[in-house]
Structure 1
Amino acid sequence: MRALIQRVSEARVDISGATVGEIGHGVLILICAMQGDTEAEADKLAAKIAKLRIFKDDDGKMNRSLLDIKGSALVVSQFTLSADTKRGNRPGFSYAAKPDEGERLYEYFAGQMQAQGVPVATGRFGADMQVHLVNDGPVTIWMDSAD
């Protein structure tokens, strides 16, 4: 699985003008299931993100995790993280999991974030979403369960 994690002071997802998911201080996680991914990759990624020390401590150093600050996660599916840009100018997305498997793993991943003790809001798989965020820092981290 691939994830782009952004530390945020707030974030929300709107669909057709209605807010479907919203958080305050925490992380926006854009997530993509890749071909061959299993629940094991989702488990590993959720545990890593929940404990990733990207929040400032009292000395201003990134030394606290999402769990430490009691932050939330907004989990949004984004198959375009699978983009292959090696040839031509139009990205290919053949490395993404098939839609039904991608949706299953997306929902499983959100559940695993909750199982880690993180309050979770989500977007809607496959929907045309508008994601609004205030990136705090900015801090943006790319993660791939294959690495």
Structure 2
Amino acid sequence: MLPCPCGRIGTSKKALELASCCGPFINDFALTPAPDAHALMRSRYTAFVMERADYLLATWHTSQRPPSIAFEPGVKWLGLEVRQHRQLDNTHSEVEFVARQKLPGKPALRLHELSRFVNEQGRWYYVDGDAR
């Protein structure tokens, strides 16, 4: 039983397992879309931890999607804090988060971002974000 890297806490006040949190979105993207931008953001963090470029690219809006994703060797993800989730309208949402990572031989880094998401045909996509 692996805890989900996104750190989401369940009703029992314990970390949710990957299989009941972000795992279904990542492992069955075609049939199990994230229900909202908040869940998509958490699953994208988990996909970074798991180095799942396929999921990251599939959930990136085509208007901003890079051709590929390269992962830095030796990166250790230290945690995710979702600061807020704002539903702007039926198809637009924002999620503010802080993700921490450590590269070998370097101090830990914080990525603080306000991310924008759009819903198209019932599926949420990451569009872009502003670093804070």
Which TM-score tier does this pair reach, normalised by the shorter chain? under 0.3
- Could you state the TM-score of these two structures normalised by the residue count of structure 2? 0.26
The TM-score, its normalising length taken from structure 1, stands at 0.24
* More contact order relative to length (CA 8 Å, sep ≥ 6): 1
Q: Which is higher, the Rg of structure 1 or of structure 2?
A: 1
- Say which structure is richer in strand: 1
